[in-house]
Amino acid sequence: MIKEELEKLKKEVLEFVEEIRKNSQDSIGEIKKKINDIKVKVFGKSGSITTMSKGMKDISPEERPKVGALINEVKNAISDKLTSLEKECEERELNEKLENERIDISEPSKGVVKGALHPISDVIDRLTDICVSLGFSVVEGPEIESDYYNFEAMNIPKNHPSRDMQDTFFINDNILLRSQTSAVQAREMEVRKPPFKIICPGKTYRNDSDSTHSPVFHQMEGLVVDENISMADLKVMLTTLMKRLFGEDTTIRFRPSFFPFTEPSIEVDVSCPTCHGAGCSQCKGTGMLELLGAGIVNPKVLEMSGIDSKKYRGFAFGFGLDRTAMILNSIGNIRNLYKNDIRFLEQMK
Amino acid sequence: MKVTYNWLKEFVDIDVTPEVLAQKLTSAGMEVEEVIYQNKNLHHVVVGRIIKIEKHPEADRLVVCRVDIGGGNVTQIITAATNVFEGAVIPVSLEGADLVNGVKIKKAKMRGVESCGMFCSGEELGIDEDYFEGAGVNGILILPNDFKIGMPIDEALMLNDVIFDINITPNRADCMSVVGIAREVCALLGKDMKKINLNYDIDVYSKDTVRNFVNVEVNTPNCHRYMAGAITDVKIERSPLWMRARLFAVGIKPINTLVDITNYVLIEEGQPLHAFDQQLIGGEQIIVRQARDGEKIEALNHNEYTLNEENMVIADNEKPMVIAGVIGGMGSCITNETKTCVLESAVFDLKSIRVTSRKLGVRTDSSARYEKGVNVANAEVGLARALHLVSKLKCGKIARGVIDISNKKNEAREIVCSIKLINDILGIEVPTSEMVRVLNSLGIVTKAVGSKLECKVPPYREDIENDYDLAEEIIRLYGYDKYDNLNYSLFKNASVTEGCHNAKLALERKFRNALVESGFYENISYTLVCGDINNKLLLSDEENKLVRIANPISEDISCMRTSLAHSLFQNLYYNLSVGNKKIRIFECGRVYKAKGLPVEELPIERDMLGICVNDDEFDFFDLKGVIENLLNMTSLEYKIVRSSKPFLHPGVSADIVCGDKVVGSFGKVHPTVIKNYDLPSNVFYGEFDTKYLSELPVEVRAFKAISKYPIVERDLAVIVDEAVTVEDLLASIKSSCGKLYYNVKLFDIYRSASLGENKKSMAFNIKLSDIEKTLTDEEVAGVMKKVLKALTFKFGAVIR
């Protein structure tokens, strides 16, 4: 008798659950209310299960455990069913909530918008980091320099043809705006004891102005003085530097040249980072870019600065940072580097 | 330096194409900047003869010509030119021609009649009257009758050479000539130099020697060698086409036989020559001497120059005739009337010529060679070659003998160098046999003796002095491509050295990155500015002595900047003018001040950081925050006091002071300066000395223990006079709190009529803490009472 009632109850509840699941138009609130109603109806004070449990006392003691077990079984089954329905309900509720909170992620970001470094500073930062890791120390020197350090100590005597290589801004006969960061070489050699490796980034000046020349520009000088330095060291060091600056597939090539302060002197061509040597407008189709001047330090230069050229040898290199920044960022006209137009600078972000 | 393929071929049997030659020269350090084919725009142009001219049936101004273009071909060409006639020999451009002026020739009908080409003017062939007679006329170039019909025009006019424009480095003065480059070509191609013809016939019928025409005296050490020859019965006329062609190809204007010969020798031998009209040499006496102060000369460029003792002249008994090595004078030069000519071939000191050329502002082909250095042996070759050409061109009779006054020796130098040292310098092993081969090919006679090379360096290679120089000669010809695939590890034989960042650059980098994070753009500006910078910034010239450039490009970049403010204000102005808004910029760079004027010692260079903002949402206190955040990255202990920087608003600006040193300043820009730079009114500017900050001692921090007992907070609002500053109140509160002080912050300033005139209310949040115990209410109340009492006593504060 009870058994049938229990079966009936179980069936009713299961049908109810199925009904609710099918009837998806109901709001969460309605469903919750229905679940609550049925809970009251089944488990409430006068609910069917409660009533049945109460009726246990009327059942013979032999039957009681069996009936009790049956009631429990149905009770648990109904309870499980309703709990899982409630859980589904909560999940649905959460999903609806998440859906409602959905935003347009393409709206603009908030907070302080970053500015940007100047392309030349960026190049200086990169180069100094690389060189420091290779054992170079970073130094600076005066931009308004004596003729001695800029020229004479670099084996460019007064009234010598090699002075023609640079159009210099003069303050007077003996003071000028340094035309090359090489001016720092002698200053450093006078105060340092070999072995040493130094680089010097900074502003340089030449009386020259067009789309590839600016009267104010930047160079970086490198100088290594040690006992057994050779052109091979120069080659490998510059290859390392250029690979780290422009990418692992970068190659460099030496060409003979002339600088009064190096002997032998070379120009260094670097494979074009834009076309990787295939030829493009940046490298004028040659696949290579003329980027550095370098060489073995002329022993006369070492001697003039008090370094024993019989014992020590060195290599030096120098290159234009404006041009390097232009290559790294595909900047066409050098003037743009000095206009400081925000529309230009913000492209460095 | 321009040389031509054909000219080089007179000295070397060149068996490679011009391209290959150019590439070889470049790889050996003679950088060929351009290879120019003279006949690039002369293909499909031939010599033709007009057989018949008829009127065009449809056009009055056109004629129809039947033209013989050789090889039995006759073509029809219509022309509007009026200087053509039947039988005229003319240049004819045929279908496919692509002329120098961009005209491309195609068959076309002109008013219904076919025209198969065009007659050319000299201009259309790229030549002028100086090059070829008739080339300058306004019309068709009428060629001489003996030109072969059908011959390509480039051949007929000798315009078929290839020109190399070579960048000669300053150490290779010996390559400033066809001969010099030919020597390199010999070394590159493994050929021997061909002997050049230096022979000439002297006038055997005359007893006169050169000394009958001129006497020479050298009175200055700046003349290393002076040679002279004499030519009588001079015939001044147009040079032959082959000579004009050579000169024209290298960019020299053909003038007449004698002048062309001097230019020809200049280019070929690198020896400048000067031709005097013998009759115009006063007293038939040439004196080489330094000029006298104030001596004047009218030069061939029609300018008059006033000379001084620095300048060397070639003078006669009375007057300077030539500024030695630089430019000739009008008074003694060759004219069409010249009968007898004295030809000078001299070598002067390079420094002397350079100084004169610079000081007078005169650069000529002659000075360009002398100031790089001409070898004393060259004078002899140059003079002989010139006399050979006189003889060949039959433009005069050559007198017996030459004058030769020389005061400088010219001998091959011997250098003994170490084979090992050369390999150590190069870092690669060059076989000794290759070293010997290369050096010998360059004319450096070399033998390997044991571990040494014994080298005889020819006089013209004055640049070669030691092992390093020889190492360069060896490697540039042995080939730098040997380094292309080098198997060598980084600093293989070198010492390990410590890599150190520069303190100032590193600090600047921290500042730069922090500013970028807070929305600033970094600027880099010209450090060269206009001379009115101090005026515009209201700075005193006395304290900011301008460093002025003696040779500026223009007035607006003629001085070194004395303040970053100028650069940033200009950049701000530029950005606003192009429509950029909300501008936050900064620059790390130097400012420069002379120690005294005129500048006698190196000026002071200060490394500064400048910050400039124009943004409606940015005020003084935003700037103060930016500046404080940066300064807090350093160990600087500073005070902020009112500033007296002239370019800042006196009421809205502050100085950053450490001891008695003003490290920097910031504030609103002074309205007058705003006007001077044409800027909007609310511009803020700040700057400080980054070098000073980078030299501060490393900060040693001392962390304080944090009490485990609770912090007590109390708010206090007081009404004070406007003149009372936050700084004063904060200091007073802090001192009243004594050892219980933890922190105090201003959180509100309120102004209202109800507070009274010139009054403000300031609200503080005070935090107290005791490291040893929990504070009792009584203790806190006691402190707060003390705080208020002090504020009332010192500042007349009233609790609100």
Instruction: Return the SS3 of B371.
Output: coil
**What CATH number did the domain enclosing B273 receive?**
3.50.40.10
Nearest CA distance, B420 vs chain A (angstrom): 12
Interface of A with B in 239-298 (CB under 8 A): 240, 251, 253-258, 260, 263-266, 296, 298
Same domain flag for B344 and B460: no
Asked if A287 contacts A278 with a C-beta cutoff of 8 angstroms, the reply is yes
Pick from A192, A131, A181, A206: which is nearest to A293 by CA?
A181
Residue A1's pLDDT is 66
Q: Of the residues B635, B664, B694, which one is the last residue of a structural domain? A: B694
The answer to whether the CB atoms of B509 and A125 lie below 8 A apart is yes
What's the rounded Cα separation, in Å, for the pair A340 and B564?
A: 14
Going B630 to B634 to B635 to B641, the CA torsion angle's sign is: negative
Q: Establish if B97 belongs to a structural domain.
A: yes
B425/A296 Cβ within 8 A:
yes
Please tell me whether residues B171 and B227 are part of one structural domain.
no
CB contact under 8 A, B516 and A116: yes
User: Chain A: nearest CA to B440, how far in angstroms?
Assistant: 19
- Whether B501 and A128 lie within 8 Å, measured CB to CB: yes
Residues B217 and B334 in one domain: yes
Alpha carbon of B314: minimum distance to chain A alpha carbons (Å): 22
pLDDT in tens, B273-321: 999 999 999 999 999 999 999 999 999 999 999 999 999 999 999 999 9
Contact in structure between B397 and B203 (CB atoms under 8 Å)? yes
* CATH number, domain with residue B773: 3.30.70.380
Select the residue of B426, B466, B505 nearest A128 (Cβ to Cβ).
Answer: B505
Q: What is the CATH number of the domain that holds B24?
A: 3.30.56.10
Question: Which residue in chain B is spatially nearest to A178 when comparing CA positions?
Answer: B602
CATH of the domain at B653: 3.30.930.10
The neighbour count for residue B758, using CB atoms within 10 Å, is 10
Q: What's the gap in Å between the CA of B469 and the closest CA on chain A?
A: 6
If DSSP codes are grouped into helix, strand and coil, which group holds residue B362? coil
Which pairs count as long-range contacts for A156-159, CB under 8 Å and 24+ apart, including other chains?
A156/A260, A156/A261, A158/B351, A159/B350, A159/B351, A159/B354, A159/B355
Closest CA to B780 of B747, B751, B742, B724: B742
Interface test with A, best of B311, B312, B352, B497 (most A CBs within 10 A): B497
Contact assessment for residue B380 and residue B404, using Cβ atoms and an 8 Å cutoff? yes
Within this chain, do residues B115 and B233 fall inside the same structural domain, yes or no? no
Instruction: From B381, B375, B32, B67, select the one nearest B198 (Cα to Cα).
Output: B381
Say yes or no: B218 and B356 in one domain. Answer: yes
- Chain B residues with CB-CB distance to A258 below 8 A: 29, 169-172
Q: What is the pLDDT of residue B744?
A: 95
Structural contact between residues A123 and A320, judged by C-beta atoms closer than 8 angstroms: no
**Chain B: nearest CA to A170, how far in angstroms?**
5
Residue B513 shares a structural domain with residue B456: no
Residue B211 Cα to chain centre, angstroms: 48
Look over chain A and give the mean of its residue pLDDT values, rounded to a whole number.
90
Nearest-Cα distance to chain A for B547, in Å, is: 7
Angle at CA of residue B554, ends B672 and B545, nearest 5°: 55
Contact B553 A170 (CB under 8 A): no
Q: Final residue of a domain: which of B424, B446, B481?
A: B481
Instruction: Give the list of residues 6+ apart from residue B736 with CB closer than 8 angstroms, or none.
Output: B783, B786, B787, B789, B790, B791
**Mean pLDDT confidence for A57-69:** 82
Q: Which residues of B617-653 are buried (b: 16+ CB within 10 A; e: fewer)?
A: ebebeebbebbeebbeebebebebeebebebbbeebb
pTM score above 0.80: yes
Residues B310, B316, B318, B324, Cα dihedral to 10° = -20
Q: Does B349 touch chain A (CB under 8 A)?
A: no
Q: CA–CA separation, B170 vs B174, rounded Å?
A: 10
> Is B490 among the domain residues?
no
Identify the residue whose tokens are 């004499």: B230
Using the Cβ of A210 and the Cβ atoms of chain B, whether some distance falls under 8 Å is answered with no
More confident residue, A46 or B565: B565
Asked if residue B199 is part of any domain, the answer here is no
Determine, yes or no, domain membership for B494: no
Chain B CB contacts of A230 under 8 Å are 424-427, 493
Q: Do B655 and B513 share a structural domain?
A: yes
ipTM (interface predicted TM): 0.88
Window 492-551 of B, Cβ < 8 Å to A: 492-502, 504-505, 509, 512-513, 515-528, 547-551
pLDDT at B412: 86
Which of A165, A207, A224 has its CB closest to that of B551?
A207
A138 and B592 in contact by Cβ < 8 A?
no
CA distance B599 to A179: 19
Three-state SS sequence of B512-554: HHHHHHCCCEECCCCCEECCCHHHHCCCCCCCCCCCECCCCCC
Q: Whole domain around residue B764: which residue ranges?
A: 712-799
Per CB-CB distance under 8 Å, the chain A contacts of B499 are 131-137, 197
- Which of the residues in chain B have pLDDT under 70? none
**CB of B313 less than 8 A from some CB of A:** no
Evaluate the CA torsion angle B476, B478, B484, B486 in order and state its sign: negative
CA distance B453 to chain A (A): 18
Give the Cβ contact number of residue B16 at 10 Å.
Answer: 13
pLDDT at A328 over 80: yes
Which of A118, A128, A251 to mutate against chain B (most B CBs within 10 Å)? A118
Residues 375-434 of B with CB under 8 A from A: 424-428
Question: Same domain, yes or no, for B20 and B54?
Answer: no
Say if the Cβ atoms of B602 and A144 lie within 8 Å: yes
Task: With a cut of 80, say whether residue A23 has pLDDT above it.
Answer: no
- Spatial separation of the C-alpha atoms in residues B69 and B120, rounded to whole Å: 14
Count of all residues that appear for chain B in the document:
800
Domain boundary among B631, B660, B694: B694
User: Contact at 8 Å (CB) between B607 and B509?
Assistant: no
Angle separating helix axes B503-517 and B620-631, nearest 10 degrees: 140
Q: Which of A28-42, A289-303, B153-167, B413-427 has the lowest mean pLDDT?
A: A28-42
Q: Return d(Cα B135, Cα B159) in angstroms, integer.
A: 14
Q: Cis ω on the peptide bond leading into residue B459 (within 30° of 0)?
A: no
> For residue range A210-268, what is the model confidence (pLDDT) as tens digits?
888 899 999 999 999 999 999 999 999 999 999 999 999 999 999 999 999 999 999 99
Rounded-to-10 torsion of CA B327, B333, B336, B340: -130
What total number of domains does chain B contain? 6
- Chain A residues near residue B604 by CB distance under 8 angstroms: none
Q: Please tell me if residue A343 touches chain B, with a CB cutoff of 8 Å.
A: yes
pLDDT at A317 over 90: yes
B485 interface with A at CB cutoff 8 Å: no
First to last CA, chain A: 82
Q: Is residue B758 part of a domain?
A: yes
Q: Are residues B508 and B588 in the same domain?
A: yes
Contacts of B551 (CB under 8 A, 6+ apart): A169, A170, A207
Contact B350 A161 (CB under 8 A): yes
Same structural domain for residues B266 and B379?
A: yes
Q: Which residues of A touch B29 (CB under 8 A)?
A: 255-258
Is B628 inside a domain boundary? yes
Residue B695 distance to chain A (closest CA, Å)? 14
**CA gap A254, A236 in Å, rounded:** 12
Q: A110, A158, A227, A231: which to substitute to probe chain B, counting the most B Cβ within 10 Å?
A: A231
Residues B385 and B512 grouped into a single domain: no
Tell me which chain A residues have a C-beta less than 8 angstroms from the C-beta of B610.
Answer: none
- Structure letter (DSSP) for residue A155: T
Q: Which residue of B has its CA nearest to A129?
A: B501
Residue B387 lies in a domain: yes
Is B497 part of any domain?
no
User: Are residues A112 and B519, on separate chains, in Cβ contact within 8 Å?
Assistant: yes
Considering CB atoms only, which of B27, B427, B499 is closest to A137? B499
- Facing B171 at nearest CB: one of A128, A131, A258: A258
**Bond from prior residue into A264 cis (ω within 30 degrees of 0):** yes
| β-strand pairing of A196-205 with A137-138 | parallel
Q: Residue B7 in contact with residue A235, Cβ under 8 Å?
A: no
Whether residues B168 and B238 fall in one domain? no
Closest residue on chain A to B525 (Cα): A338
Sign of CA pseudo-dihedral B90, B91, B93, B99:
negative
Q: Which residues contact B425 (CB under 8 A, 6 or more apart)?
A: A230, A231, A264, A296, A313, B467, B468, B471
Q: Per the CB < 8 Å rule, is A258 touching B29? A: yes
CB pair distance less than 8 Å for B171 and A343? no
pLDDT digits (tens, 9 = 90+) for A164-194: 777 899 999 999 999 999 999 999 999 999 9
Residue B193 sits at the chain A interface (C-beta within 8 Å): no
Contacts made by residues B618-625, CB under 8 angstroms, sequence distance 24+: B618/B584, B618/B684, B619/B684, B620/B652, B620/B667, B620/B668, B620/B684, B622/B684, B623/B666, B623/B667, B623/B684, B623/B686, B624/B654, B624/B666
Exposed e or buried b per residue across B203-241, where buried means at least 16 C-beta atoms within 10 angstroms of its C-beta: beeeeeebbebbebebebebbbbbbbbbbbebbbeebeb
Does the CB of B459 have a partner CB in chain A at under 8 Å?
Answer: no
The span from the CA of B569 to the CA of B586, in Å, is 10
Would you state the torsion angle of the CA atoms of residues B97, B102, B107, B111, taken in this order, to the nearest 10 degrees? -150
Helix (H, G, I), strand (E, B) or coil at B309: coil
Helices (H), A134-202: 147-150, 183-191
Chain B nearest-CA residue for A296: B425
**Residue B751 identity (one-letter amino acid):** R
Report chain B residues whose CB lies below 8 A from the CB of A121.
512, 522, 524, 588
